[in-house]
Amino acid sequence: MHLRYSYRVYPTVGQRSALARTFGCARVVYNDALAMRKEARKGGLPHPRATDVQKQVITAAKKTAERAWLASVGVDPLIQSLRDLDTAYRNFFDSVSGKRQGRKVGLPRFKSKRDTRQSLRFTRNGFRIRGNGKLNLAKIGDVRVKWSRALPAEPTSVTVVLESSGRYYASFVVDVEPEILPRLDAEVGIDLGLTTYAVLSDGSVIDNPRFLRKAEKKLKAVQRELSRKAKGSKNRAKASRKVAKAHAKVADTRMDWLHKKTTSIIRETQAVYLEDLNVRGLSRGRLAKSVHDAGWSTFRRLLEEKAARYGRTVGIVNRAFPSSQLCSECGHRDGPKPLAIREWACTACGVVHDRDLNAARNILAAGQADRLNAPGGPVRPGVAIPLQAQPDERGTRLSDLTGTGGRTAGAGGAPALQGGVDVNLCPPCHGPCGGSRRCPWRR
Ligand SMILES: [Zn+2]
């Protein structure tokens, strides 16, 4: 399986300008190729072949007066830039034909000089790791790397990224064998929310850290500073880098936290079951900021990646599954309840439930049932076959495998307003839909 390992790199002033030049060239080549393909499409001509495109926008272009500067940078990142365009087109065509699932993918767009994030990919011939630990990039030089952990194997490619905060990263793709952990009996269902981040079916609770909310004051201050600077001035560029840095800090803290939590869950359980949350639908509402701050998609993605790597299972329960209406003791469907109710007694068996814990137990049961019945398809209407996690190229950063993560015990009632977040949310979607017709979960 492919994993990504990222390290901070510190290019010198000269290397930074060489990188900037290469970022620019890669962008121009990409845009030229895109223009060429658009032209062919407009003229009703067949999609040009990749080799022909490369010949025209790199090899031939270098010989012209207006593109002669393309020769001053390494050719490898330029070719990789064209590969990215081909991938973008392939995704578009697959999406149109239905071969690719999920959200529709649009046509590739032109890259702008003002894009905040810049990146370059070097393949095997374009980079080398020196004996002294420096990263040699073709036509850039030996760049200093902070090796925060060891690479597990020889990398196949490296992407150099410049973030809007001004930080440089080298992200290596490494091919590694999965490390199957010893089997466990423990399986867990997870109910995600905003009041508490997650309630697990074993009764443990993960509090919502609300990193963005906590940093809001600081973010506001730097944003205000930015708004007062004259457009196009150097001070404005400085202030905008400050804003990007503040945001990057929040994102880093959140990512680190998510890694620790997901690692400890994957280490301690054989199978994890989650609800399929409609994050996209929620992130447009009144709670957009809180939903974004929670990072549910990343939480799920990290669980799936780590499960694939360590031989565990992640099951996704269909979002139509009424996890908060069923009694986890007797299976009686009690119907929807007012949103403020955190605890309720089953009308059939009388057991008193904590809403989230009951939901987590239902998710566990539904996930296990789906898993057992997976070959034959869903047993109940509205319950999907759990997705088996697939090895993914995107990164797992397992710097903290030994960390246990701080799971604290104790669920229970919650105030109606906590940390500025309204907890009177729709039970199925945890959203502000009021549990009514508009709920994105009820479709
Ligand atoms: Zn009951």
CA gap 351, 423 in Å, rounded: 24
**Does residue 15 contact residue 143 with C-beta atoms inside 8 Å?**
yes
DSSP 206-243: EE---HHHHHHHHHHHHHHHHHTSPTT-HHHHHHHHHH
pTM for this structure?
0.74
Least confident of 161-170, 371-380, 429-438: 429-438
Q: How far is the centre of ligand 1, averaged over its atoms, from the C-alpha of 348 (Å)? A: 5
Least confident of 8-17, 207-216, 217-226, 374-383: 374-383
CA gap 17, 314 in Å, rounded: 45
Does pLDDT of 241 surpass 60? yes
Question: In whole numbers, what is the pLDDT of the chain averaged over residues?
Answer: 82
Q: Compute φ and ψ for 265, nearest 5 degrees.
A: -65, -45
Q: How far is the centre of ligand 1, averaged over its atoms, from the C-alpha of 379 (Å)? A: 21
| Triad 355, 404, 309: Cα angle to 5° | 95
Q: How far is the centre of ligand 1, averaged over its atoms, from the C-alpha of 331 (Å)? A: 6
Per-residue CA distances from 130 to 7, 138, 403 (Å): 15, 13, 32
- The tens digit of pLDDT for each residue in 134-153 reads 999 999 999 999 999 889 88
- The tens digit of pLDDT for each residue in 17-43 reads 999 999 999 999 999 999 999 999 899
Q: How far is the centre of ligand 1, averaged over its atoms, from the C-alpha of 270 (Å)? A: 27
Does pLDDT of 421 surpass 50? no
Q: How far is the centre of ligand 1, averaged over its atoms, from the C-alpha of 431 (Å)? A: 26
- The tens digit of pLDDT for each residue in 284-338 reads 777 888 888 888 889 999 999 899 889 999 998 887 788 888 888 888 888 887 7
Q: How far is the centre of ligand 1, averaged over its atoms, from the C-alpha of 334 (Å)? A: 8
Q: How far is the centre of ligand 1, averaged over its atoms, from the C-alpha of 200 (Å)? A: 19
- The tens digit of pLDDT for each residue in 169-218 reads 999 999 988 889 999 999 999 998 888 899 999 999 999 999 998 999 99
Distance separating the N- and C-terminal Cα atoms of the chain: 36
Within 10 A of 75 (CB to CB), how many other CB atoms are there? 19
The pLDDT assigned to 332 comes to: 87
Catalytic amino acids?
A: 191, 275, 356
Q: 245: which residues sit within 8 A by CB, 6+ positions away?
A: 165, 166
The pLDDT assigned to 406 comes to: 33
Q: Print burial letters for 296-314: b (CB count within 10 Å at least 16), e (below 16).
A: bebbbbbbbbbbbbbebbb
Does pLDDT of 104 surpass 90? no
**Does residue 226 contact residue 242 with C-beta atoms inside 8 Å?**
yes
- The tens digit of pLDDT for each residue in 283-299 reads 777 788 888 888 888 99
Q: Print burial letters for 164-179: b (CB count within 10 Å at least 16), e (below 16).
A: bbeebbbbbbbeeeee
Least confident of 160-174, 370-384, 396-410: 396-410
Return the closest-CA partner of residue 412 out of 116, 121, 204: 204
Does pLDDT of 424 surpass 60? no
Token duo for residue 312: 């565990």
